[in-house]
Amino acid sequence: MPSIPQMMLNQRQKTANDNPVPGTKGKNLGAYQSPVSGVGIMHDPDWTNPPPRGAVLHECGYLEENRTWNFTRVFSPFWRLYFNAEPGHSVIFDNEVIELGPDRIVVIPPHRQFHCRSTRPVPSLWVHFSISRKVSDRSGPALVFKPSSAEVALVRELIEAISEAGSTEPTDRNFRLSMALVLTVLSRREIDWAPDFPPHLIKAIRYLEENLVEDLTVEAIARKAGVGEARLRADFKTIQGTTPGKYLTEIRVREAAAMLAHPNKSIDEIAEACGFGTRFYLSRVFKKITGESPAAYRRKHRA
């Protein structure tokens, strides 16, 4: 049986003489806020309400030659799993550069800002998903694993399933293989998980996601979750690693970034739609989190 790198190379040589992989001409919308890239196979685009157990699969994808993988300040609310059969791509965090390659599976938890760097086109497999659990703050910016034999087999099967599908329409086979790969990787003993999300914290998070435009107070969020303010603050800090107010700001910035990529709303309208009130407040908060002003972000990503 050929190795994964050789199998990817064989598939790349085969498709080079046939039609290009469907969707490769599309814009990679999923590089930032959406779990759907436009170049993969979409399953469930909704990531706001993952189940207490298990995972929600958003997208799986495979490109024989991933040529355009240079993105700055990626910051997303969903998980990402990457496997590349050849070196040439890396993810860059503030104090660490993680190379992608055939000797590792890289998993990036949500709400981690990083840069994608590409030095040459390589075969790339990715899976976007959501789960309710959170890794501890001691886990570092990303999880890096040497693939087990089971994971190698699932990677090989998933690449074949995506390649054989011949379109961006989801199939039962690639869904089950993607979920099997995600759950197998997440079952590793070495992952340091934070405590499970209690039901009241899930209620609070959903309430924030669904009412980000409102002028929310911790008292109102706690009342909706059915607990006291002190308990809510403590659980947010312990499990989410942040405060309710900072979490609300993060999802407001996420929504603003998604809107800025489209030309149909002004920055003033986006500020109001995302709960910032004025463009000046949006600009101050947006630049603090992303490192760019809303106008600069729009110019870059519309281009």
Q: What are the pLDDT digits (tens) for 192-214? A: 987 777 889 888 988 988 888 88
**If residue 106 lies in a helix (H) or strand (E), which one and from where to where?**
strand 105-108
Which one-letter DSSP state was computed for residue 51? -
Which CB contacts under 8 angstroms, 24+ apart, belong to 151-156? 151/105, 151/181, 151/184, 151/185, 152/4, 154/180, 154/181, 154/184, 155/4, 155/83, 155/105, 155/125, 155/181, 156/4, 156/7
Helices (H) and strands (E) in the chain, counts: 10, 10
Q: What are the pLDDT digits (tens) for 54-97? A: 788 988 999 999 887 888 888 777 899 999 999 999 999 988 99
The domains of the chain, with CATH numbers, are 4-186 (2.60.120.10), 199-302 (1.10.10.60)
The low-confidence residues of the chain, meaning pLDDT below 70, are 1-38, 45-53, 301-303
